[in-house]
Amino acid sequence: MTDIYAYEKEPFRRRQEVEVLVIGRQGDHLYAVLDDTLLFPAGGGQPADRGRLSGAAATSGEVRVVDVQRVEGEVRHYLSGDLQLGPATLEVDWNRRFDHMQQHSAQHVLTAVALGRFGWKTTAFHLRPEVCDIELDVAALDGAQLRDLEEAVMEEVRAARQITARRVSQDDLASLPLRSRGLPAGHHGDVRLIEIEGLDLNNCGGTHLQSTAQIECIKLLASDSLRGGARLTWIAGRRVRHRLQEAEARHLQLRHLLSTGDGELVAVTELKLQQLKDSERQLARRLAELAELRLADLLRQPGPWVTAHYDEVDMAFLQRLSRGFLGAAEGRCLFLTASPGDGDHAFLLAQGEGSDIDLEAVGRRVAELLGGRGGGRQPMFQGKAPSLRRRDEAVAVLSGGDIDGICHPLAGQKVG
């Protein structure tokens, strides 16, 4: 087994012949320890690699490496399936690794420039699936500062500075101009240094590009205040192109939807939203007027049970009617149905004061007849049903009363 792994010595290598030395189980997870590995275990803000094992040890075909972690001094490769001891071919998920190298190397440049040119120290780094961020010990960053920082960082990308790694003893470390001297707790032995020629020297165990030019581009996206400092969100490398492509596709859709050019997208959207608000206010007023008219119709109906059906209204409309009804129709009951135009039909029963029906029992019977479901307590029971085909039967039940234990609303007698 090696002390210095392939991921450190050859970060651009994609495939390697290895020996499976140990198969173990950690909780529910099966893992393998190899004689060497080009898969990086998580560390220093850089997430773990993914990969696959094939060849003699993978008797049932390819086995995916779903995570890699350094545990108790060994590098554990967590597996998607069974593996045996013996020789195997290990491959790294290169797109993921290269993306991580671009983001991670970009962070070195950003951190070095933010400190060297502006005096802002990096206090945290997060490499996330969509965007990255660093936290800086500066209260806030305005637009001009962001532009200046981005320009300064991009100068270093264009300068194509060489990035190299080497190991030094902890004794030699004292005489070197390191950016920071923080070593992980319990660190012993040599220290690995990453140098960006003429820009930065720092200890780091991650994987890096060979030149700042391979970062391609660093785009600062936004900054916000966090923990008394400023959090700076950014992306680098391919992510810049992918994000621009996604933004362009979205703009194209919006241009078609709103029939306008990029320059007018915001103004046209604001106008449409204002029109929508105005329309919603108008609709609410018209619905309130309609409810008043319908309520007057309902109150004119004779009999203990008042029923009606409405198209293209929702449950909220039925509730509004029932609230008006209950305030004006003592001792009477209400059965309303509505078809909103799409989705399930709505039904509502309401029990006026002085009526002694068992509203819950009546509601359950109506829900059953309509093949729907509902609930509620006195004075309202409401529900949804896929069909109103048997609505007439429900009305017959209310007026005729064929349910055990249900009282007629006015008669106050058991019926059925």
Under the rule (CB under 5 A), what is the footprint of Zn ion? Answer: 204, 206
Residue 11 or 409: the one with the smaller Cβ distance to Zn ion is: 11
C-alpha span between 26 and 222 (Å, rounded): 40
Residue 204 or 350: the one with the smaller Cβ distance to Zn ion is: 204
**Minimum distance, C-beta of residue 44 to Zn ion, in the bound complex (Å):** 6
**Minimum distance, C-beta of residue 186 to Zn ion, in the bound complex (Å):** 20
Residue 179 or 294: the one with the smaller Cβ distance to Zn ion is: 179
Cα–Cα nearest to 360, from 374, 371, 346: 374
C-alpha span between 123 and 341 (Å, rounded): 56
CA atoms 251, 252, 256, 262: torsion sign: positive
**Minimum distance, C-beta of residue 204 to Zn ion, in the bound complex (Å):** 3
Residue 39 or 204: the one with the smaller Cβ distance to Zn ion is: 204
Phi, psi of 66 (to 5 degrees): -95, -10
Residue 29 or 128: the one with the smaller Cβ distance to Zn ion is: 128
Cα–Cα nearest to 68, from 50, 44, 84: 50
C-alpha span between 194 and 44 (Å, rounded): 13
**Minimum distance, C-beta of residue 122 to Zn ion, in the bound complex (Å):** 12
Residue 206 or 379: the one with the smaller Cβ distance to Zn ion is: 206
Residue 125 or 325: the one with the smaller Cβ distance to Zn ion is: 125
Question: Are the C-beta atoms of residues 77 and 88 closer than 8 Å to each other?
Answer: no
Phi, psi of 331 (to 5 degrees): 80, 0
Nearest residue to the partner Zn ion, using Cβ: 204
Residue 107 or 355: the one with the smaller Cβ distance to Zn ion is: 107
Question: Are the C-beta atoms of residues 166 and 191 closer than 8 Å to each other?
Answer: no
Q: Which amino acid is it at 75?
A: V
**Minimum distance, C-beta of residue 42 to Zn ion, in the bound complex (Å):** 13
C-alpha span between 316 and 303 (Å, rounded): 25
**Minimum distance, C-beta of residue 125 to Zn ion, in the bound complex (Å):** 9
**Minimum distance, C-beta of residue 156 to Zn ion, in the bound complex (Å):** 15
Q: What residues have CB less than 8 Å from 96, skipping those under 6 apart?
A: 49, 50
Q: What residues have CB less than 8 Å from 278, skipping those under 6 apart?
A: none
Cα–Cα nearest to 365, from 398, 342, 318, 332: 398
**Minimum distance, C-beta of residue 209 to Zn ion, in the bound complex (Å):** 10
Q: Give the DSSP H/E element, type plus range, for residue 287.
A: helix 265-300
Phi, psi of 231 (to 5 degrees): -95, 125
- Residue 289 vs residues 176, 313, 320: alpha-carbon distances, Å: 81, 14, 11
Residue 23 or 168: the one with the smaller Cβ distance to Zn ion is: 168
**Minimum distance, C-beta of residue 47 to Zn ion, in the bound complex (Å):** 13
Question: Are the C-beta atoms of residues 375 and 327 closer than 8 Å to each other?
Answer: no
